Amino acid sequence: MNLPKLHGVHVPHRKNTAQMPPQRMNAPQTVTIPMSMHIGAPADPVVKVGETVKVGQLIARAGGFVSSPVYASVSGKVKKIDDMLMSTGRFMKAIVIESDGEQTPYEGLTPPEVTDFQSFINAVRDSGVVGLGGAGFPTAVKLGVKDLKQVEVVVVNGAECEPYVTSDTRTMLDDVKWIRRGIELMQKFMGVRRVVIGIEKNKPECVKSMGDMASAMEGVEVMALPALYPQGGEKVLIYHTTGRIVPEGKLPLDAGAIVINCTTLAALAKYMDTGMPLVEKVVTVDGSAVKEPKNVIAPIGASMQSLFDFCGGFKSEPKKVLYGGPMMGIAVPNTDFPVMKNTNAILALDEKDAILPEPTACIRCGSCVDACPLRLMPAAIEAAYNKRNVDRLRELHANLCMECGCCAFVCPAKRMLVQTNKLAKGLIAADNAAKKAEADRKAREAAEKAEKEAAVK
């Protein structure tokens, strides 16, 4: 497959924990489990304060079609149900459970009975699994396509292109049987004919592990991809593994593809065979301020601080703590924030790595354009945003930006291009909302006028 020049950036890999199998931490004294750890409607609590719960017990049902159920990650007592401030700046309801230290499984856990496509999707929904690579989109919604003939290829995302993060790497090395089982389930109940596992070449052990597995399976292939960030971006990965382009404003399914993260696939398979829903995550704990970087098996809801403590604490004062990798991660104001379903890493960076340089004037070098994986023009978007020119932002396809950070990474002037792109998308959204509100107002006025005229007649 001969593709045009690949756009992106070569970031430092810093895969310090790639050779470290995950270590299980003990249950912390309390876990704080948010009701929104996924894209879509928050889950609705079904337990009350003072109630005793066990591991794997349902504590919140899905709050809508695009939502996901939530399960207890520790056994113990519900201490409180209250609003918590999320890393996004919004308040969200969360269930706090005081652990009894026993980690007693819920006695009602049984593997789901799966006989056809619909029962398969029902089981996926009941598993509580969402996109575990970071996106958090409910997996049952992604896989629940109306016409299975649309699914021409499933791309398994094993790229893991962010620096530091190795939780997917460990899945591809330690959970091969579960990845295989997940693929077999999709082949059986979704009629999937072609599966491509995309892995960056800087993970040769994973390429071999997945290649050995694929060689014994029909319709499954492994593609070793250039180690070029953001290789794991959904649209980028589809293009580099299949040559297909997802049109603007469309979904991968419109290009005949579904992308599923390798850890998501393994988690689904585990639930199908054991009945234990998603209650824990492998999280890479690393960064220049961390004393003993590790991959940690942590209960969902465990605080960041409890994971850092498990890794020996800090060797220097952290100046920035992130959910995820340094390119697309989200900074948090303190370490009380919990591990969530889609947390694949937490990083603590010292002052040298955390402090951003002061931006200077754009020199019109075009480096940002050359690096952008979606062929956008970040400098032009910045100029249009500064002028609040919404029409120009639309012409520049600002909404296509995936906020990967390539433009800012290569910018010699250290412009805040990612942040500006995000603000530009917000400006477009606000303009769309205003136009819709105006159209609705005019429609109401026209309806009222017609109603009055009809009454006069």
Q: What is the pLDDT of residue 6?
A: 67
Average pLDDT over residues 11-22: 96
Q: What is the pLDDT of residue 135?
A: 77
In sequence order, the β-bridge partners of residue 332 are: 321
Q: What is the pLDDT of residue 2?
A: 52
**pLDDT tens-digit map of 377-435:** 999 999 999 999 999 999 999 999 999 999 999 999 999 999 999 999 999 999 999 99
104 class by beta-carbon count within 10 Å (0-12 exposed, 13-18 middle, 19+ buried)? middle
User: What value, to the nearest 5°, has the Cα angle with vertex 192 and ends 186 and 195?
Assistant: 90
Spatial separation of the C-alpha atoms in residues 48 and 250, rounded to whole Å? 41
Q: What is the pTM of this model?
A: 0.92
**pLDDT tens-digit map of 36-60:** 999 899 999 999 999 999 999 999 9
Q: Is the per-residue pLDDT at 1 higher than 60?
A: no
Q: What is the pLDDT of residue 5?
A: 60
CATH of domain 23-274: 3.40.50.11540
**pLDDT tens-digit map of 187-210:** 999 999 999 999 999 999 999 999
Spatial separation of the C-alpha atoms in residues 159 and 174, rounded to whole Å? 16
Q: Which parts of 81-166 fold into alpha helices (H)?
A: 117-126, 139-143
Q: Where are the domains of the chain?
A: 23-274, 362-457
- DSSP assignments along 256-281, one per residue: TEEEEEHHHHHHHHHHHHH---S-EE
Question: Could you identify the residue written with the tokens 């159209």?
Answer: 439
